[in-house]
Structure 1
Amino acid sequence: MIDNVTIIRAASALGAGFAMIAGIGPGIGQGYAAGKGAEGVGRQPEAKGDIMTTMILGQAIAETTGIYALVVALILLFANPFL
């Protein structure tokens, strides 16, 4: 017989897996931003500092989505509030 704790743990593991899929979006976005940043530096080398600063700031903001997903997954796996 399957009890409620087993169902909650299984659903939490599934939810953690779905949360980690959220890492795909920031990866694609950061790759796109880095490509466009390199393109911009290639077109205007004298603006390298401004382009790189803006690109790194944008990548840091994009990465927060992946970090939040990782935190949610870790909470579901190790500090499950539903148990």
Structure 2
Amino acid sequence: MTTSFTVDGGALTINPIIAATLMACEKTIMQQEMAYLAVLPTAAAWTVADDTLTLVMLLARHYWFTRPLAPPLTGTTWQVTGL
């Protein structure tokens, strides 16, 4: 997915127009994705602690999403599983 955002001090504004792939997954996974994409633009604050970015959603009371930041690819061991 991709969208734009702005940060003003501690305030976060996420553009509600979000581009996402149309790849189909299991129904429950697709429902989770749709729920996440619907709530994402309501993020109004954020914090970073250690390697975790936390988005705080105002409209979805008691909801926040935490996702570890991606580790660097340098030094990663890769294994080819198909060709």
TM-score, normalised via structure 1 length: 0.27
Name the structure with the higher strand share: 2
Name the structure with the higher helix share: 1
Higher relative contact order (CA 8 A, sep 6+): 1
Please identify the structure whose Cα radius of gyration is greater: 1
